[in-house]
């Protein structure tokens, strides 16, 4: 399942991000591609061990920790420090699956990538091409979101970024290790939680069936989550 989350970053935050990113020194993205990805990857990336990537990345982690839709959808255990990329004219990233295990920079810790995330940092009308296409079990889904919006998709999916033909696509991307590894279980929990949230608004949090469903949600988490 592909989940889009609007306004992860506000208009003002995107504007501030872009002030830093537009001044930053971008590097050839193929420096950091794995051997399989190398021949399909043509874009630019920021050095994520330096500013401004460090501060902007930690700001993203802070806003995500307060975003209820993100928490419900990802049930995050570990989050890779957000990275930043840019696709200028003729730049593209061909079909690939992201690496399964990543070492968290600056630590000896390894994480499994369960979910891949992209936060768009340029308005779609300001560039042509640059769509993110993700193969799902229901066919290919293509996304090109408003600046500040995020898409979350299973890291097991084959995906590609179409060639940019005008302007530039700027984004942040990163991975999440979920407390619930299984995609179907994670989707069930997300759907149940969304329904409980809606019922809570309609019926109030002390309604007996809301209390029951909320208890079932937590009991499923207890069965399925690894921390
Ligand atoms: Ni990728």
**Residue 76: closest CA among 183, 192, 203, 227:** 227
pLDDT, one tens digit per residue, over 78-122 is 999 999 999 999 999 999 999 999 999 989 999 999 999 999 999
For the chain, what is the radius of gyration of the CA atoms? 18
Higher local confidence (pLDDT), 75 or 41: 75
Q: Ligand 1 centroid to 160 CA: how many Å? A: 7
pLDDT, one tens digit per residue, over 118-140 is 999 999 999 999 999 999 988 99
Task: State the Cα–Cα distance between residues 226 and 221, nearest whole angstrom.
Answer: 9
Name the pLDDT band for 166 (thresholds 50, 70, 90).
very high
Q: Ligand 1 centroid to 214 CA: how many Å? A: 35
Name the pLDDT band for 188 (thresholds 50, 70, 90).
very high
Q: Ligand 1 centroid to 89 CA: how many Å? A: 19
Q: Ligand 1 centroid to 97 CA: how many Å? A: 6
**pLDDT at position 52:** 95
**pLDDT at position 76:** 98
Name the pLDDT band for 30 (thresholds 50, 70, 90).
confident
97: left (phi over 0), alpha (psi -120 to 50) or beta: beta
> Residue 222: pLDDT above 70?
yes
**Letter string b/e over residues 118-144, b meaning 16 or more CB atoms within 10 A of that residue's CB:** bbbbbebeebbbbbbbbbeeeeebebb
**pLDDT at position 29:** 81
Task: State the Cα–Cα distance between residues 45 and 49, nearest whole angstrom.
Answer: 12
Task: State the Cα–Cα distance between residues 44 and 170, nearest whole angstrom.
Answer: 9
What is the arithmetic mean of pLDDT over 152-156? 97
DSSP character at residue 90 = T
* Domains of the chain with bracketed CATH: 3-178 (2.60.120.620), 183-224 (4.10.860)
**pLDDT at position 15:** 98
Angle at 175 between CA 39 and CA 153, to 5 degrees: 85
% the chain with pLDDT above 90: 88
Q: Ligand 1 centroid to 98 CA: how many Å? A: 5
What is the arithmetic mean of pLDDT over 19-38? 78
**pLDDT at position 1:** 85
Q: Ligand 1 centroid to 118 CA: how many Å? A: 9
SS3 content of the chain, % helix, strand, coil (to 5): 35, 30, 35
Q: Ligand 1 centroid to 67 CA: how many Å? A: 23
Q: Ligand 1 centroid to 150 CA: how many Å? A: 14
> Residue 3: pLDDT above 70?
yes
DSSP helix/strand/coil, 74: helix
DSSP character at residue 22 = H
């Amino acid at each position: 399942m592909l989940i889009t989350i609007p306004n992860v970053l506000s208009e003002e935050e995107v504007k501030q991000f872009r002030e830093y990113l537009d001044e930053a020194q971008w590097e050839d993205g193929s420096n950091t591609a794995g051997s399989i990805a190398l021949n399909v990857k043509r874009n630019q990336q920021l050095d994520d061990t330096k500013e401004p990537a460090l501060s902007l990345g930690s700001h993203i982690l802070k806003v995500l920790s307060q975003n209820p839709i993100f928490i419900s959808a990802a049930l995050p255990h570990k989050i890779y420090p957000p990275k930043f990329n840019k696709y200028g004219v003729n730049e593209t990233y061909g079909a690939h699956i992201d690496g399964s295990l990543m070492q968290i920079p600056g630590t000896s810790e390894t994480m499994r990538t369960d979910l891949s995330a992209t936060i768009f940092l340029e308005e779609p009308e300001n560039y042509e091409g640059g769509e993110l296409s993700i193969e799902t079990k229901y066919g290919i889904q293509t996304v090109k979101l408003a600046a500040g919006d995020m898409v979350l998709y299973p890291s097991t999916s084959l995906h590609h970024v179409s060639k940019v033909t005008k302007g530039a696509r700027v984004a942040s991307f990163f991975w999440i290790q979920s407390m619930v590894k299984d995609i179907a279980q994670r989707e069930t929990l997300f759907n149940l939680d969304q329904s409980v949230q809606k019922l809570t608004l309609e019926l109030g949090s002390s309604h007996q069936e809301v209390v029951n469903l909320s208890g079932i949600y937590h009991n499923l988490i207890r069965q399925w989550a690894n921390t």
